[in-house]
Chain A
Amino acid sequence: MALCVAAAALVVGFGAQFNGTDAYPDAGAIDADYDAHVGETVHVWGEVTATDDGRVVVTADSLSLRVTDPTAADVEVGDQVQVYGELAPDRRLVTVAYDVQSPDSLNAMYAVSVAGIALAGGAFLRRWRVDLDRRAFVPREGE
Chain B
Amino acid sequence: MPDLLTHVLFAYVVGAAAVWWTGRPDRCLPAVLVGAAAPDAMKATVLLDVVAGTAVGVPYSFWGLHTLGGVVVLSGIGAVTLRASDRRAGLAFLVCGGVTHLLLDAFVVRVDGVAPPYLFPVSGWLPPAANLYTSTDLWTIPAALALAVPVWVARRRRAAG
Q: Please give the residue numbers on chain A whose beta carbons come within 8 Å of chain B beta carbons, in ascending order.
A: 3-4, 6-7, 10-20, 23-24, 43, 82-84, 96-99, 101-102, 105-106, 108-109, 112-117, 119-121, 123-124, 126-128, 131, 134, 136-139, 143
Q: Does B5 count as interface, using CB distance less than 8 angstroms?
A: yes
Closest 7 CB pairs of A and B: A14-B64, A116-B4, A116-B5, A15-B59, A113-B4, A105-B136, A120-B33
On chain B, the residues within 8 Å of A105 by CB distance are 136
Contacts of B52 in A (CB 8 A): 15, 19, 24
| A99-B83 CB under 8 A given contacts A113-B3, A127-B27 | no
A16-B84 Cα distance, complex, nearest whole Å: 36
Q: Which residues of A contact B3 (CB under 8 A)?
A: 109, 112-113, 116
> In B3-55, which residues have CB < 8 Å from any A CB?
3-9, 11-12, 25-27, 29-31, 33-34, 36-37, 40, 52-54
Contact yes or no, A138 B83, CB < 8 A:
yes
List of B residues within 8 angstroms of A119 by Cβ: 5, 8-9, 33
Q: How far is the CA of A16 from the CA of B136 in the complex (A)?
A: 30
Tell me if A124 and B111 are in contact (CB < 8 A).
Answer: no
- Which residues on A sit within 8 Å (CB–CB) of B134? 99, 101
Q: Which residues of B contact A83 (CB under 8 A)?
A: 111
**13 A-B residue pairs with CB within 8 Å:** A10-B67, A10-B73, A11-B65, A12-B59, A14-B120, A19-B60, A20-B59, A99-B109, A117-B8, A119-B5, A127-B30, A136-B82, A143-B25
